Amino acid sequence: MTVDDKKKLKNEIKELIIDKLKITHVTADEVPDDAPLFGQDNPLGLDSIDAIEIILALQQNYNVRIADQNLARVILESVNSIADFLEKEMVNEKQ
Amino acid sequence: MSKINDFEHKMGAHCETGTLTSLFNYAGLEITEPMIFGIANGIFFGYLETDTFPFPTFIVRSRPGQIRKNITKRLGIKLFEQKYKSVEKGEAALDELINKNIPTAAQVDFFYMDYMPEWQRVHINVHFIIIAGEKDDKYIVSDSYYPRIAELSRESMRKARWAGGHMPPKGFLFYPVNVPQKIDLKKPIIKGIKTACRNMIGLPVPFIGVKGIYKFADKVKEWPKIARDTEHLSHEIMKINILLEDQGTGGAGFRFMYASFLQQASEILSNSDLADMSKRMMKNGDEWRNISYFAAKIGKNRDLGTDKLEELSDLIRKRGDEEKAFFTELKKIIK
């Protein structure tokens, strides 16, 4: 994946989260790539119920199943970690 | 003392199976976490409505410790297991094991695992971790819920091992003393599947297995009558999400892990029907996850009218229908 493709993917992820969770107080540009998605260090400030909605949205949009909740915590740590996970899954899919 | 150098930390879907997997792998036995879960017939359902619980609840796996008992019995593994009333003796025993380079599992209260983010830490007395060394007066901990090796102070470990409350750890330690290096998994897999089928469709107990799922579907509609108020009801409804998805239940009430087990079992037994059943269980897991999401959503939004609880009840009932058909079919396949 090129740098531009990865940037595009991260933006897609931010838009997806904002759209699915119906967030109105923040735009995709305001969401940092590397800040924790959960807790107070991110303008989104998501909770564990939001997490399952993101898991379902990723499954629906990218055909990836995050079956293990502990792994989900690691994958959903930040926009960067979600993008890294999807990139890996896309590579696996091609192989 | 220092970290036990050749111990490899792994994340797991669930603390009990994750801990056992790491210990068995360290002892030289190649086995996966789903395989341990499946052989030990970890999959389960029980709707619990007793005086022990302040509000009805449900369980989606066999009771803590049962997986350990079943897997060791079926694979011929011998464990050292010991509880310690005395804090001094219990700490000394752990230190001695670290000195001998023996990675050892401990039962702890999850709340004191202070390397975890604060918002995730809740009091659960049946969390399992592995102590894989000691450095600068801190324990080196391998926790299957945490992505890296962690450190825990002696004080936190003491509080965690001797926490009070329901199912207290009482300083419990265990580690394998005899692990066969090569095991034919065929018979244990069949035994595990047969017992799982019996637990899910064969027990004449109205709150266990598929009967328990149906009971849950019926009873959830009555929860407003026993909840104190809307806040209490929303809390209990949101707990459905926590029990199915959060707190390390392996995702979708352990159904995804059971699907992985069936996939691996199909390869070992050369039985393609089991691979089909694995795909079916994966879809079943997706539907449990939808229940989890639905419950979380209506609970969070306090959208708890009769229509919503009827909808929730219908979703749960459909899982009962599917699991009844699934385990009936699985029983035929494994006969």
Write down the mean pLDDT value for chain B.
Answer: 94
- Confirm whether B237 is domain-assigned: yes
Q: Is A70 in contact with B11 (Cβ distance < 8 A)?
A: yes
Work out how many domains chain B is built from and give that number: 2
- Asked if the model's pLDDT at residue B6 lies above 50, the reply is yes
- Asked if the model's pLDDT at residue B1 lies above 60, the reply is no
* One-letter identity of residue B26: Y
- pLDDT confidence bin for B246, thresholds 50/70/90: confident
CATH code where residue B139 lies: 3.90.70.10
**Token pair of B238 as six digits:** 């949101």
Q: Is B282 in contact with A72 (Cβ distance < 8 A)?
A: no
Burial of A95 (0-12, 13-18, 19+ CB in 10 A): exposed
Pairing of β B138-142 and β B127-135: antiparallel
Say if residue B166 is in the same domain as residue B223. Answer: no
Higher pLDDT, B307 or B246: B307
Say if residue B148 is in the same domain as residue B28. Answer: yes
Say if residue B27 is in the same domain as residue B165. Answer: yes
What is the rounded average pLDDT of the residues B160-167? 94
Say if residue B285 is in the same domain as residue B149. Answer: no
- Confirm whether B197 is domain-assigned: no
- Confirm whether B4 is domain-assigned: no
Q: pLDDT tens digits for A62-75?
A: 999 998 888 888 99
Of B127, B160, B178, which one is at a domain's C-terminal end?
B178
Q: Which residues of B touch A56 (CB under 8 A)?
A: 289-290, 293
Say if residue B225 is in the same domain as residue B118. Answer: no
What is the rounded average pLDDT of the residues B216-223? 97
- Confirm whether B314 is domain-assigned: yes
Q: What is the ipTM of this complex?
A: 0.81
**Structure letter (DSSP) for residue A38:** B
Burial of B245 (0-12, 13-18, 19+ CB in 10 A): buried
Chain A positions touching chain B (beta carbons under 8 Å): 38-39, 48-49, 52-53, 55-56, 59, 65-74
Say if residue B21 is in the same domain as residue B167. Answer: yes
Which of B248, B256, B260 minimises the CB distance to A70? B248
- Confirm whether B189 is domain-assigned: no
Q: What is the pLDDT of residue A73?
A: 86
- Confirm whether B326 is domain-assigned: yes
Domain that holds residue B62: 15-178
Q: pLDDT tens digits for B65-111?
A: 999 999 999 999 999 999 999 999 999 999 999 999 999 999 999 99
- pLDDT confidence bin for B4, thresholds 50/70/90: low
Say if residue B142 is in the same domain as residue B43. Answer: yes
- Asked if the model's pLDDT at residue B131 lies above 80, the reply is yes
Report whether CATH 1.10.1200.10 matches the domain A3-94.
yes
Q: What angle do CA A34, A39, A41 make, to 5 degrees?
A: 45
